[in-house]
């Protein structure tokens, strides 16, 4: 196992992690921004008003794209496991 292969595996893992995180956090960020603008306009400072919509959006994103995310993780793991003999020898 060469240092280049370790770096490549790490880069692939980080790329998949970033895709998953971005897919979940960017919609939550957008909803949080909209709720913050609503709170600023109405001067309502309730913490749960910000938390609950973000929670629902992340849940909805997981429902809609959960199969794709799971397939992405499974494909990466499958490639990693099947490449073990080539990495060792």
Q: Provide the residue ranges of all domains of the chain, joining segments of one domain with +.
A: 3-88
Could you tell me how many residues make up the chain?
A: 89
| Burial class (CB within 10 angstroms; exposed 0-12, middle 13-18, buried 19+) of 63 | exposed
87 or 33, greater pLDDT: 33
Reply yes or no on whether the pLDDT at 80 is more than 90: yes
Reply yes or no on whether the pLDDT at 89 is more than 80: no
Q: 46 φ, ψ to 5°? A: -105, 125
pTM: 0.79
At 74 the pLDDT is 96
At 57 the pLDDT is 95
Express each pLDDT in 20-76 by its tens digit.
Answer: 999 999 999 999 999 999 988 988 888 778 889 999 999 999 999 999 999 999 999
């Amino acid at each position: 196992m060469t240092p280049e292969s370790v770096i490549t595996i790490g880069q692939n893992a980080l790329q998949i992690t970033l895709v998953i995180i971005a897919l979940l956090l960017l919609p939550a960020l957008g909803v949080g921004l909209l709720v913050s603008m609503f709170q600023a306009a109405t001067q309502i400072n309730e913490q749960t008003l910000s938390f609950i919509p973000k929670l629902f959006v992340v849940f909805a994103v997981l429902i809609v794209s959960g199969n794709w995310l799971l397939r992405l993780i499974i494909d990466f793991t499958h490639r990693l496991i099947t490449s073990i003999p080539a990495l060792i020898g």
